[in-house]
Amino acid sequence: MSRGSCSCIVSEFEGTLLKDPEVFSYFMLIAFEASGLIRFGLLLVLWPVIRLLEVCGKGDCGLKLTIFVATAGVRYSEIEAVTRAVLPKFYFDDTNMEAWKIFRSYDTKIVVTKMPRIMVQRFVKEHLRGDDVFGTELTVNRFGFATGFLKRDIHSIAKDVSELFMDEQPCLGLATSSSTSAASIFLPLCKEQRHPPFSGDNPQHDDHIRPLPVIFHDGRLAKRPTPSAALLILLWIPLGVLLAAIRITVGLIVPMKALPRIAPIFGGKVVVKGNPPPPASTSSPGVLFVCTHRTLMDPIILSSVLRRRIPAVTYSLSRFSEILSPIPTVRLTRIRDVDGRKIKQELEKGDLVVCPEGTTCREPFLLRFSALFAELTDRIVPVALNYRVGFFHATTARGWKAMDPIFFFMNPRPIYEVTFLNQLPAEATCSSGKSPHDVANYVQRILAATLGFECTNFTRKDKYRVLAGNDGIVSHGSGRVKEMVGMLKKVVGSFMV
Is residue 155 very low, low, confident or very high in pLDDT (cuts 50, 70, 90)? confident
Greater pLDDT, 5 or 94? 94
Average pLDDT over the chain reads 87
Burial class (CB in 10 A: 0-12, 13-18, 19+), 55: exposed
DSSP per-residue string spanning 289-313: EEE---STTHHHHHHHHHTS---EE
Cβ within 8 Å of residue 328, ≥6 positions away: 309, 311, 312
E strand intervals along 56-102 = none
Q: So what's the pLDDT on residue 145? A: 96
pLDDT of residue 463: 93
pLDDT at 284 over 70: no
CB under 8 Å to 402, separation ≥6 — which residues?
318, 319, 320, 321, 487
Strand, coil or helix: 241: helix
User: How far is residue 372's CA from residue 381's CA, in Å, rounded to a whole number?
Assistant: 15
Q: Rounded CA gap, 460 and 457, in Å?
A: 10
Report, as an integer, the average pLDDT of 129-135: 92
Position 215 pLDDT exceeds 90: yes
pLDDT score of 277: 87
Residues whose CB falls within 8 Å of the CB of residue 367, separated by 6 or more in sequence, listed in order? 293, 357, 358, 359, 361, 456, 458, 459, 460, 462, 463
* 5 or 45, higher pLDDT: 45
Point out which residues pair with 388 in neighbouring strands: 415
Which has the higher per-residue pLDDT, 232 or 317?
Answer: 232
Choose between 486 and 356: higher pLDDT.
356
Identify the weakest region by mean pLDDT among 176-190, 265-279, 313-327, 443-457: 176-190
The neighbouring-strand residues paired with 231 are none
- Please report the pLDDT score of residue 140 as a whole number: 95
pLDDT bracket for residue 142 (50, 70, 90): very high
Q: How confident is the model at residue 495 (pLDDT cuts 50, 70, 90)?
A: very low
| pLDDT of the residue at 318 | 72
Q: How many CB atoms lie within 10 A of CB 100?
A: 25
Q: What is the mean pLDDT of residues 105-129?
A: 94
3: pLDDT strictly greater than 60? no
Average pLDDT over residues 58-84: 95
Query: Would you say residue 282 has pLDDT above 70?
Result: no
Q: Which range, 102-116, 265-279, 391-405, 441-455, is most confident?
A: 441-455
Which pLDDT value is given to residue 323? Answer: 78
Pick from 136, 64, 126, 69: which is nearest to 92 by CA? 126
Q: Are the beta carbons of 394 and 295 closer than 8 angstroms?
A: yes
pLDDT at residue 482 tops 90: no
Residue 181: the pLDDT is 57
Report whether pLDDT(182) > 80.
Answer: no
Distance (Å, rounded) from C-alpha 175 to C-alpha 23? Answer: 15
Section 75-82 average pLDDT: 95
Picking from 244, 4, 7, 222, the residue whose alpha carbon sits closest to that of residue 103 is: 7
Per-residue model confidence (pLDDT) at position 497: 37
Distances 112 to 124, 173, 294 between C-alpha atoms, Å: 10, 10, 36
